[in-house]
Structure 1
Amino acid sequence: MPSALILIADGTEEIEFVTPYDVLTRAGITVRSAGVNLKNEQFAVCSRNVKILPDAPSLDEKLRAEEFDALILPGGAPGAKAFCDSKTVLQLLRDFREKGKLVGCICAGTTALVKSVETEGGERNKRVKVTSHPSVKEGIVGKGWDYSEERVVVDGGVVTSRGPGTAMLFALTIVEQLCGKEKREEITGPMICAETL
């Protein structure tokens, strides 16, 4: 079965972290989470003050893209800034893309994807069509990225989405990319997902 790494930082949007973790696990995907520059060494304090204990409290700098099939970055402005400020996260984004692995970013998490291309070594990764939370759209478009208002966008091995309200659709899209449409349909029914998903 595929595996996925989900990152979390202080200020990460809870729904955008928990929903993909839960949905991917339901699909049989092995999911691991890792903290990025957490103030507390054990847990992240998320955007609505919910405390979440990641599987690994600190992102291992020796971690390699070969260990996972997907890398997922939730949003939340402070959390996304922590991802953007982490050389390890930016390098992981580049490595996953160079190896043809899936990268998923939701909400402000898309800004880290953009920064990974703008920084040293990132020029090897091409810009793709993306979406994000409206609050960070201008900065993404201003850097020459093709932007869509769709709830979820899939392009070149990259899945992006808009915000907390699109987290379920984002997670189901990742399941489909990793495991196929049948697996997505298999888990959608028991969760009583809206037909518009």
Structure 2
Amino acid sequence: MSALTGKRILILATHGFEQSELDVPHAALQKAGATVDIVSPEAGEIKGWQNKDWGRSVAVDRTLDQVRAEDYDAIVLPGGQMNPDTLRGNDKALGLIKSFFDQGKVVAAVCHGPWLLIDTGIAKGRKVTSYKTIKQDLINAGASWQDAEVVTDKGIVTSRKPDDLPAFVAKIIEEVQEGRHDRKAA
């Protein structure tokens, strides 16, 4: 039996997600036995960003209107500059992320993905990491920013950049296996 057999994980993204930050966790979490759904505000396909140009499109499994946090064990928030910046303006996306947090489920964000932890109020009082250019945003939001490959704080998993994805995915798997996380107010 695989590490995540019977577990369901949601990857929330829209156009402009960093290609590897969706593709690597998607493949690795599926390989670990999880059912992984790519969820977006829009149906059809969303286009990634790779290096300095548009990347490949990926199929959207479900739209925001079709999912509930209750049906999943974790949410993964890929970065790229455009993806989280667009999603942070979407109240349904922010509500979904906050629902995962409120239910003690794993919330994982990489690169610029932690911007979404600011807009949901999750970052305040938490240990996090991120891509270096949003470090000050997280500090200003009340987070304790750390320069580390992966930082975990009671089921909140954050990582800096694509090079850190193997450690990021390993920590997501570990946190999902642990189950619900008690999160007293920070």
Please tell me the TM-score bracket, short chain as reference: 0.7 to 0.9
Letter in 2 for 1:138: Q
In the alignment, structure 1 residue 98 sits paired with structure 2 residue 102 = yes
Contact between 2:49 and 2:56, CA under 8 Å: does it hold in 1?
A: no
Q: Within 2, Cα distance between the matches of 1:54 and 1:34?
A: 9
Q: Gaps spanning 5+ residues in structure 2: where?
A: 1-5, 179-186
SS of residue in 2 equivalent to 1:88: helix
In the alignment, structure 1 residue 17 sits paired with structure 2 residue 17 = no
SS of residue in 1 equivalent to 2:158: strand
The match for 2:80 is 76
Contact between 2:44 and 2:60, CA under 8 Å: does it hold in 1?
A: no
Deviations 1:121-140 (A, max 9, x none): x7xx8631111000111111
Q: 1:66 aligns with which of 66, 70, 81?
A: 70
Q: Where is the strand percentage greater, Structure 1 or Structure 2?
A: 2
Structure 1 ranges of 4+ moved more than 6 A:
none
Q: Gaps spanning 5+ residues in structure 1: where?
A: 181-197
CA apart distance, 1:50: 1.8
Contact between 1:107 and 1:164, CA under 8 Å: does it hold in 2?
A: yes
**How many percent identity over aligned positions?**
30
Deviations 1:86-128 (A, max 9, x none): 11111111111111111000010000011111xxxx7xx8631
Q: Where is the helix percentage greater, Structure 1 or Structure 2?
A: 1
Q: How does 1:144-159 map to 2 (within 5 A)?
A: 144-159=142-157
Q: 1:162 aligns with which of 157, 160, 163?
A: 160
Q: Within 2, Cα distance between the matches of 1:76 and 1:57?
A: 21
Letter in 2 for 1:52: S
Letter in 2 for 1:99: Q
Aligned length: 170
